[in-house]
Amino acid sequence: MTRRMGVEEEFLIVDGVNGKPVPLGGVLDQVSDYPRLTSEMKQEQIETCTLPRLTLAELAQDIIAGRKDADSLARRAGARAAALATSPLPVESTIAPGERCARLMDRFGLTAVEQLTGGCHVHVEIESEEEGVAILDRIRVWLPVLLAISANSPFWNGKDSSYASYRFQAWTRWPTTGPANIYGSAAGYHKEMSQILASGVPLDKANLYLDARLSHKHPTVEVRVADVCLFADDAVLLAALVRALAETAARQWRDGVAPAPASVTQLQLATWRASRYGLDGDLADPATGMPRGVFEVVLALLDHLRPVLEEQGEFSAVEFLLFQVLDRGTGAAVQRECLARTASFQDMLSDAVHITSLPVTPLREAGNNAFTI
């Protein structure tokens, strides 16, 4: 099965001169002019949404178009859109209008007040909720690797956080984030979600911010662990990996292969390590939970997905994009390199705005048009 996939990206709105986050304010009522865009909880952000797509080429075109729309809307407020998962500069963010946002502020206090983080969410089509939960149960051990690949938030309040993804640290202040238990069935999934909602802590289903979940709006599995990617190439890579993980997991389920029995604590440690080091330190081995070299873990992921990627004609494209990240570095590494070179947050932010709008690298898979731009 070739599953449709879609990507949501959350962008930071920054002043085009000094790089400080800018609230969109009155420009938000013009979001309807851009069907790919939706507003966020904070006015210093905007979200893009692709259509459900079958090929990586179609998805890449949508991602680039969404980034252009986000920047076009930002320009109406005298600002620019940057694919940064946290603001490198100090900011007092502005709550978006609406009752739900006000309730989030009232319920969660400083956690919500300080929350200005940008993620990349990948949706992958499922045939049923039973299949979707089977996928969730089997991809959970690989999600920390996706976080490491996407890591793009080293700075917080004008300081180097020492983390590759400080977004993940700030994001997990919410009480409904992080990895989940093995559910076992759709009934088990809904029982756990109902118990969480009955606790009175989250406002609603949309407030269940797990690393991966069943979408409450679409017939999809939604993987939410990643930072928004600085490079559009990395967003395409992330989507390809998530789709291949989902299809591989679905096949394992149909073949009677049980999920890896990793505990939530083990997965929390693995995601912390990915958040701390990105691709610049050891990752947790998905099979054992023990530290292992990044290159070995990435090769293990590629080997795990090889049958599906080859069948879908995407292996060469994904291999290229994956090794490109290893060679070039994550968004976090690129941000740090630029700051070290220029000694200027403003120059770094200007560079990030430029990179955000770069086209996807043209690739061709021999004998297949899955990634032809």
State the residue for tokens 């993980």: 245
pLDDT of residue 26: 82
pTM equals: 0.96
pLDDT of residue 358: 95
300 token code pair = 């293990």
SS3 assignment, position 311: helix
User: Following CA atoms 359, 364, 370, 373 in sequence, which dihedral angle do they give, to the nearest 10 degrees?
Assistant: 30
pLDDT of residue 114: 93
Cβ-Cβ contacts under 8 Å for 178 (sequence gap 6 or more): 172, 210, 211, 264, 267, 268, 271
Quick one: which H or E segment has residue 44?
Answer: none
**Cα–Cα–Cα angle for 58, 64, 65, rounded to 5 degrees:** 85
- Yes or no: say if 88 and 350 are a contact pair by the CB < 8 Å rule: no
Give the Cα separation of 124 and 139 in Å (integer).
12
Give the Cα separation of 179 and 170 in Å (integer).
15
pLDDT of residue 370: 45
10-residue averages of pLDDT along the chain (373 residues): 95 95 89 90 96 97 97 95 98 93 95 96 98 98 98 97 98 96 98 97 95 96 98 98 98 98 97 98 96 97 98 96 97 98 96 96 54 44
Beta strand extents in the chain (DSSP E only): 5-15, 37-39, 45-49, 79-82, 119-125, 155-156, 159-160, 212-214, 220-227, 283-284, 291-292
- Yes or no: say if 146 and 301 are a contact pair by the CB < 8 Å rule: no
- Domains of the chain plus CATH, in order, are 5-356 (3.30.590.20)
User: Following CA atoms 266, 124, 198, 189 in sequence, which dihedral angle do they give, to the nearest 10 degrees?
Assistant: -70
pLDDT of residue 89: 97
Instruction: Write the DSSP string, 243-263.
Output: HHHHHHHHHHHHTTPPPP---
